[in-house]
Structure 1
Amino acid sequence: MKQLNILLTAVALLLFTQEQAHSQIKLSDIFKKVTDRQSSSATSAGAPTTSEIGLGIKEALQLGVSAGADRLSVKDGFLGNLAVKILMPPEAQKVEKTLRGIGLNSLCDNVITSLNRAAEDAAKEAKPIFISAIKQMTLTDATNILLGKTDAATEYFKRVTSAQLTEKFSPIVTTSLNKVNATKYYSDLTTQYNRLPLVKPVNTNLTAYVTQKAIDGLFIEVAKEELKIRGNINARSSTLLQKVFGYADKKKS
């Protein structure tokens, strides 16, 4: 009887071991099938469609121009940003140097501050113009931007929005220059300088100067955002952006 029990126990252990091995094989097979299916799914995703490229580029640019315009349209958006800060007009920089040399620093500082405040006011109107340009973008435009140079989107905006921005900004800048006394400060500055003996009188169209500088500053910020989303994977905040710009990465590698 004792020997019979030992034999039965041995058989049971053998059957259990075989069952476990068979189970492991099945689990291994299942895992392989799941992995293969995931790999196949990823491969089938392939390149984005033309429609996806259009939607992805528009999403990216809307995020970029919104961020850039928002940064510049607040107090010190221009004045506190060395990359876009508006300085004296070139023809007035000699004036500034001369007047600072005779102790009129405050007058020069007031002019520079007021020029930047005017640009900050104007920048508030930039976003709708950029968004309109994005909505009108064709699928060909979107593809060319995606696969183009690192500043392809910025160049697109320069081409299609510069005239509108100038038209929209000019009256705002004029109003703002007067509101923040920039016109008066600049008039005081040039008057002081023009009174000096043997100097060439300085006259500047402040509205045109600040308008162009404000637009230049916007494009600098848009270029930063474009470069960020092209080069920083973490800036691709949606599945669509990851797919579209991931495709562009592969095409350019």
Structure 2
Amino acid sequence: MSISIFSKTLAVAALVCASSLAVAVSLADLSNKDATSGVKTALEKGASVAVSKLGTQNGFLNNDKVRISLPGQLEKAKPILKMLGQGKKVDELETSMNHAAESAVAEAKPLLLDAVKNMSVSDAKNILTGGDTSVTDFFRQKTSSQLTTKFLPIVKKITDKNGLSAQYNGLMSKASASGLTKEDSTVEGYVTQRALDGLYTIIGEEEKAIRADPVGTGSAILGKVFGAVK
């Protein structure tokens, strides 16, 4: 083999190796900067998608995964309540609950993004290796308390305006409340908790989609970082 051909062969081999290394990035190869950047991008994407889906007209009502139904025994008593002529109140109650949740979730994005901004390198690594719900778990841990405080007055304002509290209390007097938990004892408490659950549910769905096909997101950093843990 001539020196020229040998040199060309080495050059081609080097390019192939370099290309393979670029694709086959492992978790150990990721810098803290890349890991944190990738996770932050995923968190921001999940938060934005969840808020845009739920914090809009009928965002809860039209989504069977997060639609808010009556609590506990009231839901079971719905057929009886309708037979007693309370059908309209029941329907208005459910609709108002879901609209209150939509209005509350619409205000969640700043707090979610603030949690992302303050995320540590350790948080990022834990999220990458923590399984399919680690993003959701992070948001629940970092934002649940703040969002509850944020949501309660928003929900209460809407439920009071629509007479929801009176409807709820009226319905409770017609059905057994023995199955109600402490959080179900007030309209705003019940709706706030269900709004949070719905928000985290949709964030979780977005996280699973990113992990299943990071390259398909169209984001180079998501493809690189989440591709390393597939």
TM over 0.5: yes
The answer to whether structure 1 residue 220 and structure 2 residue 198 are counterparts is: no
The answer to whether structure 1 residue 100 and structure 2 residue 82 are counterparts is: yes
Name structure 1 gaps, 5 residues minimum.
1-21
Deviation at 1:223, TM superposition (A): 0.5
1:209 to 184, 190, 195: 190
Question: Take 1:70 and 1:137, find their aligned partners in 2: how far apart are those partners?
Answer: 22
Deviation at 1:103, TM superposition (A): 4.0
Question: Take 2:123 and 2:69, find their aligned partners in 1: how far apart are those partners?
Answer: 35
Give yes or no for contact 1:119–1:214 (8 Å, CA) kept in 2: yes
Name structure 2 gaps, 5 residues minimum.
none
Question: Take 1:173 and 1:151, find their aligned partners in 2: how far apart are those partners?
Answer: 27
Q: Which runs of 4+ in 1 moved over 6 A?
A: 199-203
Deviation at 1:102, TM superposition (A): 3.0
In structure 1, the residue matched to 2:161 is 179
Question: Take 1:200 and 1:34, find their aligned partners in 2: how far apart are those partners?
Answer: 75
Aligned-residue Cα RMSD (Å) equals 2.6
**TM-score, scaled to structure 2:** 0.85
Question: Take 2:75 and 2:33, find their aligned partners in 1: how far apart are those partners?
Answer: 50
The AA in structure 2 aligned to 1:217 is: G
**TM-score, scaled to structure 1:** 0.78
2:223 to 229, 237, 242: 242
The answer to whether structure 1 residue 150 and structure 2 residue 128 are counterparts is: no
Flag the structure with larger Rg. 1
The AA in structure 2 aligned to 1:222 is: I
Task: Give aligned pairs, total.
Answer: 220
Percent of aligned pairs sharing the same letter? 33
Give yes or no for contact 1:228–1:235 (8 Å, CA) kept in 2: no
Alignment of 1:44-55 (within 5 A): 46=25, 47-55=29-37
Alignment of 1:1-253 (within 5 A): 30=8, 33-34=11-12, 36-43=14-21, 46=25, 47-190=29-172, 193=174, 204-249=185-230
Question: Take 2:9 and 2:165, find their aligned partners in 1: how far apart are those partners?
Answer: 74
SS of residue in 2 equivalent to 1:248: coil
Give yes or no for contact 1:95–1:190 (8 Å, CA) kept in 2: no
Deviation at 1:30, TM superposition (A): 4.9
Deviation at 1:160, TM superposition (A): 1.1
Q: Which has the higher contact order (CA 8 A, sep 6+)?
A: 2
